[in-house]
Amino acid sequence: NLFEETKTPSIGREIDFETHLRAGAALDLGLFTLAADMDLTERKPIAGENPSKSFSVGAEFDIFNTVQFRAGYQTNTASGATDPDLLSLGVGIWLGFNLDIAAVVGDDSTFGGFIQTGFHF
């Protein structure tokens, strides 16, 4: 978010969206890509959740530009945050369209899944 903005949804409570900065870098080594990114500013809670300031690292192994295996790690470094650290694993397939499938696990029985498909033009 480059610009601060206040929204008032139908429930009548104002929600402030403050400026948010994030930085990241990636290193493409051909078959392998390594990446890291982090929030430079802390996000304040807007609906009762924890404050957020993420740090993430990940790696991808790309086989013939057809199948990609991915792994990642994310932690919340915000003061007072109690979010669990997350580990993720995923696979992507490119056969004229892409299909991505991923799973995320953390402590305290935290888990999730993700499926995405799309086309490249």
pLDDT in tens, 42-63: 887 777 777 889 999 999 999 9
pTM of the model: 0.79
Sorted by where each begins, the domain ranges of the chain are 26-118
* Encoded amino acid at 22, one letter: R
Per DSSP, the residues of 72-86 read: EEEEE-STT--PPPE
pLDDT in tens, 11-37: 777 777 778 889 999 999 999 999 999
1 DSSP β-pair partners: none
- CB-side exposure of 115: number of CA atoms within 13 Å? 0
DSSP state of 119: -
Residues in contact with 30: Cβ distance below 8 Å, sequence separation at least 6, in sequence order: none
